[in-house]
Amino acid sequence: MLLTGTQLESKRNHRTLFKALNFELDAGQLLLVEGHNGSGKTTLLKTLAGLREPDAGQVLWEAEYRPQFVWLGHANGIKDDLTALENLRAMQTNSLPPKTVLEQMGLAGHGNRFPRHFSAGMKRRLALCRLLLSDAPLWILDEPQAALDKAGIRLFEALLSGHLQQGGSVVMTSHHDIGLEGQHIRRLGLGT
Amino acid sequence: MRLTHAFVSLLYRDFTVAFRHRNEILNPLLFFSLVTLLFPLGVGPSPQLLQTIAPGILWVAALLAALLAADNLFRTDYEDGTLEQLVLSPLPLPLLVIAKILAHWLVSAVPLLLLAPLLAVAFGLEALAIGVAELTLLLGTPVLAFVGAIGSALTVSLKRNGMLLALLVLPLYMPVLIFGSNAVDTAAAGLPVSGQLYLLAAMLVLSLTLAPLAIAAALKMSVSQ
């Protein structure tokens, strides 16, 4: 198992968001975390990423995977005062040319513009470039399709299925239909 | 190798952002010169009085400018999510933090170091005292930057945190202020100042080695909110 959660429990402001949560995630699988607003989806993702400690239970990683994941939270993790290309170079951990990645995400020709002039959807596309600029086997994504248009969502779905086919894994939350079906999709319901 | 690369690119990134924004460079500098220049208007232009209070004024103004700058140190990184990414980096966070603070010090304190001798001349300080003032600022401002960063990292997730930051950080700034301005005073009186300088250097070493650990821990706490 790449990632295992056992008896996870988290509280916020003395309110229990979830408890006794168990799940497993293997290579090539997608774990879709579902639940209504305020059910603790973001908190769970932050716990998996190690941004916060669970109040009880454990997150276990297969040893060799531990530091290798890409995190994309609500915030895009891009700087408004750096151009799109400079942002990509700053987030890059593999050797793909940033310009190609920009083209792939439909932002060709915007490389030397500042993200503060971008629309929310374009910023999200720029943030999603992080997925291509890393070779990490696991993606942890919080509402990755937020603000994306239809073409953007299709682009993201293509990235997702490509990553899964190559044996990568994903944990994500989404209010959208992800357009993927099959054995490799697991669902985890929160707040039910 | 990877660490060096990450260190340099973070330093370069913060540098680029600061130069595109300029506020980060100009605000502390403007604040420093305004506070310093207001004193002659407030206490009267008597050269002797100004010469006596100059070391204190320069140091207090530098300290408040550092406090002002510290407030913004992690703010935009926290808001745009790059702080989360930094904390999640597999590389050691305390070392990356040093890169950020080095960039912060270079853009917020070095211009001030360049301006200080001019203001000191305007206050009628002698050459030796000016030299010592520069040296104490050179040793002291990095300490202010590191200590301010601890407070900034602790309060970055709170809204309207200015007052809390000041309360947290000012007590820790005091030793630097005391030894810094005292060294300039002593030099102006023609006495040796090596004691104060050594103490300031010790504080610098202490903050350079320990503060990054505290800052890293505080940042981890702040992004977990």
Tell me the pLDDT band of A66, cut-offs 50, 70 and 90: low
Mean pLDDT along residues A129-146: 92
On the question of pLDDT at A12 being above 70, the answer is yes
Asked if A60 and A10 sit in the same domain, the reply is yes
Quick check: A79 and B90 CB within 8 A? no
Domain that holds residue A114: 84-134
Chain A interface mutation, best of B86, B88, B221, highest count of A Cβ atoms under 10 Å: B88
Least Cα distance to B63 among B51, B55, B52, B53 occurs for B55
Q: Is B224 on the interface with A (CB under 8 A)?
A: yes
Tell me the pLDDT band of B99, cut-offs 50, 70 and 90: very high
Enter the ipTM.
0.90
Bridge-partner residues for A16, per DSSP? A11
Asked if A179 and A144 sit in the same domain, the reply is yes
Domains contained in chain A, number = 2
Chain B interface mutation, best of A80, A81, A86, highest count of B Cβ atoms under 10 Å: A81
Question: What is the tens place of the pLDDT at every residue in B72-83?
Answer: 899 999 999 999
Asked if A157 and A120 sit in the same domain, the reply is no
Chain-centre distance for alpha carbon A114:
23
Look at residue A74 and tell me if it is in a domain: no
Burial class (CB in 10 A: 0-12, 13-18, 19+), B45: exposed
Asked if A93 and A48 sit in the same domain, the reply is no
Q: How far apart are CA B124 and CA B184, in angstroms?
A: 13
Residue with tokens 């702080």: B83
Question: What is the tens place of the pLDDT at every residue in A80-107?
Answer: 999 999 999 988 888 889 999 999 999 9
Backbone angles phi, psi at A118, to 5 degrees: -85, 160
- Prediction pTM value: 0.91
Asked if A13 and A62 sit in the same domain, the reply is yes
Asked if A51 and A14 sit in the same domain, the reply is yes
Asked if A144 and A172 sit in the same domain, the reply is yes
Asked if A56 and A141 sit in the same domain, the reply is yes
Quick check: A80 and B90 CB within 8 A? no
Look at residue A75 and tell me if it is in a domain: no
Which chain B residues touch A76 with a CB distance below 8 Å?
80-81
Asked if A150 and A129 sit in the same domain, the reply is no
Look at residue A77 and tell me if it is in a domain: no
- Work out the end-to-end distance of chain A between its first and last CA atoms, rounded to an integer number of angstroms: 26
Which member of B21, B82, B224 has the closest CB to residue A77? B82
Asked if A62 and A8 sit in the same domain, the reply is yes
Quick check: A81 and B17 CB within 8 A? yes
Domain CATH number, residue A48: 3.40.50.300
Asked if A23 and A47 sit in the same domain, the reply is yes
- How many CB atoms are located within 10 Å of the residue B28 CB? 25
Burial class (CB in 10 A: 0-12, 13-18, 19+), A187: exposed
Within 8 A by CB and 6+ apart from B208, the residues are B98, B142, B146
Asked if A57 and A103 sit in the same domain, the reply is no
Q: How far apart are CA B135 and CA B55, in angstroms?
A: 12
Which chain A residues touch B21 with a CB distance below 8 Å?
81
Q: Is B42 on the interface with A (CB under 8 A)?
A: no
Look at residue A79 and tell me if it is in a domain: no
Name the CA dihedral angle for B181, B185, B186, B188, rounded to a multiple of 10 degrees: 140
